[in-house]
């Protein structure tokens, strides 16, 4: 496991050196969310009703931005081959990359989601449930993103194919995440959608790294 955490630490250090990528994702999230009031109008009731969906869609799109560099830079300079030869199973290499993506992208999005929600006049009772859903939701986006990035690694026009692979996988996450917040807004129990999110995460946690690891081995060969 020391090699696993070494990969995570290395990616975190590289992210600090190239902080513009993380900042770009956060700015994209904030700016995109700020465009919605300009398009649908500044009515507080309308914004409050649409705020959970806006935040989830913006978080999904922002999480896609750094994915093309998740494996691409290591693949180009030969580091990926060294990681696969170091003795760590390819599935754990993919899991380490997904964890670093979530720490660099998902966690900052969680922190920014609260002030963005307040900007969109979200119900204060709905905001904690929204953030609770985003916790496994952003982790799922990182897992699905690592799977898609591994499958298109080395392919022509991989940057075009990547969103086409990830967005359909992320659709259930979006549905259940928004459903939990909407249930709270109308004074219903949000437990069921949150449990569905947890079940999706429990299924994706072992399966996505396995599939992504197979994609990494195929690209390295």
pLDDT of 23 above 70: yes
Q: Which pLDDT does position 171 carry in this prediction?
A: 93
Reference 8, options 120, 131, 101; nearest CA is 101
Confidence of residue 48 (pLDDT cuts 50, 70, 90): confident
pLDDT of 85 above 70: yes
Q: Which pLDDT does position 113 carry in this prediction?
A: 92
Cα 174 versus chain centre, distance: 11
The least confident of 28-42, 67-81, 162-176, 184-198 is 67-81
Confidence of residue 219 (pLDDT cuts 50, 70, 90): confident
Tokens of 167: 């967005």
Dist CA 54 CA 196 (whole Å): 20
Tokens of 199: 């079940």
Q: Which pLDDT does position 130 carry in this prediction?
A: 93
Tokens of 117: 């929600």
Q: Is 22 exposed, middle or buried (0-12, 13-18, 19+ CB in 10 A)?
A: middle
What is residue 87's three-state secondary structure? coil
Percent of the chain with pLDDT over 90: 47
pLDDT tens string 111-170: 999 999 998 988 888 899 999 999 999 999 999 999 998 888 877 766 778 888 899 999
Q: Which pLDDT does position 79 carry in this prediction?
A: 80
Mean pLDDT of the chain: 88
pLDDT tens string 191-217: 999 999 999 999 999 999 999 988 888
What is residue 86's three-state secondary structure? coil
């Amino acid at each position: 496991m020391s090699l696993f955490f070494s990969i995570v630490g290395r990616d975190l250090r590289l992210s600090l050196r190239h902080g513009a990528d993380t900042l770009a994702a956060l700015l994209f999230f904030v700016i995109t969310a700020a465009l919605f009031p300009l398009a649908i109008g500044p009515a507080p009731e309308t914004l409050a009703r649409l705020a959970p969906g806006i935040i989830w869609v913006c978080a999904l799109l922002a999480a896609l931005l750094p994915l093309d560099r998740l494996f691409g830079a290591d693949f180009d300079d030969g580091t990926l081959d060294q990681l696969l030869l170091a003795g760590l199973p390819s599935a754990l290499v993919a899991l380490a990359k997904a964890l670093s993506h979530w720490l660099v992208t998902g966690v900052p999005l969680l922190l920014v989601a609260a002030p963005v929600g307040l900007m969109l006049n979200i119900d204060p009772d709905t905001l904690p449930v929204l953030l609770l859903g985003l916790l496994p939701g952003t982790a799922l986006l990182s897992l699905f993103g690592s799977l898609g990035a591994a499958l298109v690694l080395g392919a022509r026009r991989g940057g075009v194919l990547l969103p086409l692979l990830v967005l359909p996988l992320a659709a259930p996450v979006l549905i259940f995440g928004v459903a939990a917040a909407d249930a709270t807004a109308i004074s219903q129990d949000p437990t069921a959608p949150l449990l569905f999110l947890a079940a999706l995460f429990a299924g994706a946690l072992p399966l996505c790294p396995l599939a992504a690891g197979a994609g990494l081995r195929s690209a390295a060969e």
